[in-house]
Amino acid sequence: MCEKFLIINAGSSSLKFSLYDMPVAKEIVNGYIEKIGNQDSFYTLKYNGQKQEKNRVIMNHTEAVKVMLEELLENQFISDISDIKGIGHRVLHGGEFYSESVIIDDEVLNNIKSLTKLGPLHHPGEIAGIESMQSIMPEVPQIAVFDTAFHQTMPKENYMYAVPYSWYEENGVRKYGFHGTSHKYITETMKNYFNKDNVNLIICHIGSGASMCCVKDGKCYDTTMGLTPLDGLVMGTRSGNIDSSIIEYICKERNMSVEEVTSELNKRSGLLGIAGKNDFRDVENLANSGNEKAQLAIKMLKNSIAKYIAQYYVELDGKVDAIVFTAGIGENAVSLRASIVNSLSSALNIELDQEANNSIARFKEKQSGMITTEDSKIKVMVIPTNEEYMILKDTYDMANKKIEKSSKVKNLEYK
């Protein structure tokens, strides 16, 4: 018998949701509510190959949850809210509390609330989503799936910053890492592929937000994002790592506040800061038409990724099962992948299979596979990420743990 499970991903001004039939993991409908808190908020519903867009003023996340449930009922995706047997919430920050997903109880919710200072943009919406669902459906298990959880296995020397120790003890300043659900999905997929648990991987999740993960013996050993998702690689609108003295310098030089400079580093830097465009396709088109700033931005992005691959190669003592590209840019940007692999070719003894690389992208027949030759010392692969599936899997497994405490947890196959 099919049971319905709901996945909720609340952003600062948005709420995405998907309803699934389980255990077949078939998506029934997904929705995206945008511009929450604005007069021009609207939402989109997608089901059966159809797309519906509706305008409606939605002032906060509690209202957004009500609109979501109304739509699910009116369109008969559920006949009653009791059809929903489990709810998975994507939560940005689990701090040092959580190294895996958890069933949300009062203590978990309090911990998530206490982490709002580390996720000020995301946590208020996420908490409102959880609390609304709890008040409407108190009996249904709700599961928190944290973006940071997979990175909790990092050794201390990799997650500490060399700053006064009290900043760590009293203020929680350390590297947490993000995109953990994606890095975990790729790691689990590669464990299946190599048929072993102790895989060593270098994962490049390159989307608008981008991070890399060094996986040693099947666990996160290092990652590029830090206390916040601003650190590490050059991204669509984020600077990645910079000399932190730049902040004070620019505050004085341009008469700006720390908040303004931090906002510029998050929203107006990266590809956008250098090339004037944040979407990689636009930057690539500009570069191909001879725009020097766009060419520079792509070189900077390439170098930032290549440098971390080299660093993680050393951290893994050269024993790397695979380098994996994933997310929007990693899965599609054929020429960027080629230039990264070629730039590391002689240092790491890797050899690009140009034809294989050219043949893999979301819009092509092949969406995953190997892009290096048989002679290459390290396999380089493209694997589409599937964070939503990972959230669904954890939600389903944990909800069933709660519903049937004594019975064996059902296992889903990875798609």
Catalytic residue among 83, 147, 197, 375: 147
**Does position 371 bind ligand ADP by CB under 6 A?**
no
Q: Would you count residue 226 as binding ligand ADP (CB under 6 A)?
A: no
Q: Which is nearer to ligand ADP, 150 or 280 (CB)?
A: 280
Per DSSP, which regions of 136-255 are E strands? 142-146, 201-206, 210-216, 219-223
153 burial via Cβ count (<10 Å: 0-12, 13-18, 19+)? middle
Contact 352, 372 (CB under 8 A): yes
Between 281 and 410, CB nearer to ligand ADP: 281
| Site membership for ligand ADP, residue 236 (CB under 6 A) | yes
Choosing from 148, 211, 224, 332, the residue that interacts with ligand ADP (CB under 6 A) is 332
Mention every residue, 6+ apart, whose C-beta is less than 8 A from residue 344. Answer: 306, 309, 310, 350
Task: Outline where DSSP puts E strands in 270-357.
Answer: 322-326
Site for ligand ADP in 258-277 (CB under 6 A): none
Q: Is residue 328 close enough to count as binding ligand ADP by CB under 6 A?
A: yes
At 286, list the tokens: 């500009």
Does residue 279 bind ligand ADP (CB under 6 A)? yes
Active site residue 147: yes
In whole angstroms, how close is the CB of 36 to ligand ADP at the nearest point? 18
Nearer to ligand ADP, 94 or 328 (CB): 328
> Closest distance between ligand ADP and the C-beta of residue 97, in Å?
25
Sign of CA dihedral 342, 368, 304, 333: positive
Closest CB to ligand ADP among 67 and 323?
Answer: 323
Q: Is the dihedral of CA 154, 158, 163, 165 positive or negative?
A: positive
Residue 322 DSSP label: E
* Count, residues near ligand ADP per rule CB under 6 A: 13
Among 201, 329, 382, 383, binds ligand ADP (CB under 6 A): 329
State the minimum distance, in angstroms, from the CB of residue 208 to ligand ADP.
Answer: 4
| C-alpha dihedral (128, 132, 138, 142), degrees to nearest 10 | -50
SS (H, E, C) 176-188: CCCCHHHHHHHHH
Q: What is the dihedral of CA 264, 146, 115, 104, to 10 degrees?
A: 150
281 binds ligand ADP per the rule CB under 6 A: yes
Taking CB under 6 A as the rule, does residue 333 contact ligand ADP? yes
The residues of the shown chain that bind ligand ADP, judged by CB under 6 A, are 207-209, 236, 279-281, 327-329, 332-333, 361
Active site residues: 147
